[in-house]
Amino acid sequence: LISSPTRPGLHIIHIAAEMAPVAKVGGLGDVVSGLSKSLQKRGHFVEVVLPKYDCMQYDRIRDLRALDVMVESYFAGRLFKNKIWVGTVEGLPVYLIEPHHPENFFWRGQFYGEHDDFKRFSFFSRAALELLLQAGKKPDIIHCHDWQTAFVAPLYWDLYAPKGLNSARICFTCHNFEYQGTAPASELASCGLDVHQLNRPDRMQDNSAHDRVNPVKGGIVFSNIVTTVSPTYAQEVRTAEGGRGLHSTLNSHSKKFIGILNGIDTDAWNPATDTFLKVQYTANDLQGKAENKEAMRRLLQLSSADIKKPLVGCITRLVPQKGVHLIRHAIYRTLELGGQFILLGSSPVPHIQREFEGIANHFQNHDHIRLILKYDEFLSHSIYAASDMFIIPSIFEPCGLTQMIAMRFGSIPIARKTGGLNDSVFDIDDDTIPLEFRNGFTFLTPDEQGVNNALERAFNLYKNNPDIWKQFVQKDMNIDFSWDSSAAHYEELYSKSVARARAAIQT
Ligand code: ADP
């Protein structure tokens, strides 16, 4: 196995279920690679451990090779061999774990949504720690993410620190408290955790079903640092309405809990260098943006009769959290207001997917509306570049990346004031916000009137004050949404936690 070089910075290992661009379902994938790259740039040694999914984008992994040694890990009373692959993704060393388990945990053609996800990811969490132990790693920080790898926290303290993998502090980031991965308590035993010890109200027992365990709760209770992805969301989840049953747990552990706004990967999302685009452009040369809009219209066979017609974009997972009924409403309202609308989205929820297929078919040959119901990296970049406005009417939004990406591409966000949207989109007409921070249109009440109000104000400004609009576009494109300041924040949390641990050992 590959050993870790000694360096002055921290040694940080992320254990995660996603990493962009090789295994991305949503924002989690972007965060794992964006944060890691930024920490690496700041002089830290960062590695990532992922499952080896069959459906990864293998063409984006450099120098992929299998190690000679297998790592054996425990599950459900037996030891299973894991083949370990190493490679480089976005300049970061990555380990991929391929379990030799008869149930082919990561050979399913999709990342999540399998009937045995609890099993798949508790297996992976344990195998990842086993890899670190057997490789002789001495990380300062093990950073796990969401319920899929939250198992790492109790596994580390209960099993792996006693075995000698004891150099690390554990950081757990919850990217969305809606997904908690609860399961019957007995299922926890498979990965070797002690159900009797852990199925207790102050440990992993689910707060609303006492015969179930909750991995996210385990992540909160057993980690040294707990973060979520924006300051406003961190406040929201500490209330009974927003906490999805975990508000009391978060309040009991509030000292170690903090919200840090995600950044975006400004190399991957850069209109000046983006090779997916028809034409690259910058804030000082918006002709290129206009050409992308025209190219998009041609590609999707939308009307180009009026080049000034505003184009509204929306790129999203179509799940209730994202305000799907408001997205549907925004499509029709945009049409009434004389604009064009492009939706790129797909839904894991069959009835929502069907509903949007119905709308897509209805507008199949329409001059001004196009719905593309799939996941498509090329189209996403092209739509950010082509659109004038970008709508995000979320019911709740832990952080949200699309508003930041949209701004970087000069598309003005129209967003509901919730979670990370509230921390990154500031209304152009809000006199309580200093002028230099105002960058979009917001609404508070998640209903059709709220959407109408923000959309209409956007259309009015676009049509009546093109010069002011252009200034907003340029301003938004120049906002620094890079990971720099957020990574500095994580670095500070990590360092303080490591220092506290060292001080405790010395006393
Ligand atoms: P979430 O993590 O809840 O899905 P975020 O706003 O944090 O939402 O992140 C969404 C990310 O996924 C963005 O990078 C966005 O561009 C991308 N995305 C969402 N849907 C699609 C799609 N259908 N095709 C391509 N990219 C998508």
ipTM of the complex: 0.99
Q: d(Cα 119, Cα 188) in Å, to the nearest integer?
A: 9
Kindly write down the DSSP assignment for every residue of 249-312, as one continuous string: HHHHTGGGEEE------TTTS-TTT-TTSSS--BTTBTHHHHHHHHHHHHHHT---S-TTS-EE
8 A C-beta contact, residue 250 and residue 220:
yes
The closest residue, in CA terms, to atom 22 on ligand 1 is 375
Q: d(Cα 122, Cα 44) in Å, to the nearest integer?
A: 28
> From residue 443, how far is each of 329, 331, 447 by CA, in Å?
15, 17, 9
Count other Cβ atoms within 10 Å, centred on residue 231: 16
State in Å: Cα 265 to ligand 1 middle: 13
Q: Which CATH superfamily is domain 11-262+485-506 in?
A: Glycogen Phosphorylase B; (3.40.50.2000)
State in Å: Cα 400 to ligand 1 middle: 8
Residue ranges lining ligand 1, Cβ < 6 Å: 26-27, 30, 315-317, 344-346, 375-377, 380, 399-402, 405
Put residue 173 in one of left, alpha, beta given phi > 0 → left and psi -120 to 50 → alpha: beta
8 A C-beta contact, residue 424 and residue 261:
yes
Q: d(Cα 378, Cα 376) in Å, to the nearest integer?
A: 6
Position 26 scores a pLDDT of 83
The answer regarding whether domain 287-481 maps to CATH 3.40.50.2000 reads yes
8 A C-beta contact, residue 233 and residue 420:
yes
Q: Which of 33, 378, 402 to probe ligand 1 with, by most ligand atoms within 8 A of CB?
A: 402
Q: d(Cα 454, Cα 184) in Å, to the nearest integer?
A: 44
State in Å: Cα 353 to ligand 1 middle: 16
State in Å: Cα 72 to ligand 1 middle: 35
The DSSP H or E segment spanning 330 is: helix 324-336
Omega into 466 within 30° of 0, i.e. cis? Answer: no
Atom of ligand 1 nearest to the CA of 344: 23
Position 194 scores a pLDDT of 98
Distance, C-alpha 163 to centroid of its chain = 32
Position 6 scores a pLDDT of 55
Under-70 pLDDT residues of the chain: 1-7
Position 505 scores a pLDDT of 81
Position 221 scores a pLDDT of 98
Listed in order, the ranges of the chain carrying CATH 3.40.50.2000 are 11-262+485-506, 287-481
Atom of ligand 1 nearest to the CA of 374: 23
